[in-house]
Structure 1
Amino acid sequence: MNTLDPAIASRLTRNPEGLLPAVVTDSDTGAVLMVAWMDDEALHRTLTTGRATYWSRSRQEYWVKGETSGNVQWVHEVRLDCDGDTLLLVVRQEGPACHTGATTCFDADKLDAVITDPQESAS
């Protein structure tokens, strides 16, 4: 049952599965911690509990970040981008954000080695 405020729901542009990506950042450092998916119910739960709640596409169920790991995300802000198709969650992260135990899901596999100087490419 969708219990999201209709005024908020009307602003969302969902994908065909009814989901929006949620980019999660650390409230202290601004670091991007992870990206997850939310539907209307996950967003409603997040807004009403202050705990980050997501939709697991692989398990087809809701999950509250930290419910099993103890690595809780306390939500400080939820923002909607200008197109209404992406959410930004600003959280206070307790423990690592990534399931691998890393601080963020973006600690490994840096691709900056393949980036060339943009001024060289423009000439």
Structure 2
Amino acid sequence: MRNLNFDSHGQHLLLLLCGRRNVWKQELDLSFKVSKGDTKWEGKAYLPWNYFPPNVTKFNSYAIHGSKDKRSYEALYPVPQHELQQGQKPDFHRLEYFKPFSFNTLLGEEWKQPESDLWLIEKYDL
């Protein structure tokens, strides 16, 4: 699991997690590009293939906008409304709400994910 956050000033946070909330690696290098217009900004992050563990099968994406009492949270696959508890805070680690994902859908059925030395070698350091 990976956690990535960056803002219009280029600040970002990239974590590799082992399970739920267990930070395994942090402050990883990241190539990104940010452009800001009059009313919005756009950010693109370029994640090296070795940051992805083998056989990624589920995915979710999150965004946080604003600050203090104007802060809002978005999720590609949010917790369903009927499952929210009163006073519940946003939680980006709810793996049960991630949805099936395949890189092959984006890159073609013949595409094979490159092996990652990071996950093959260091998986024993968990």
TM-score, normalised to structure 1, is 0.28
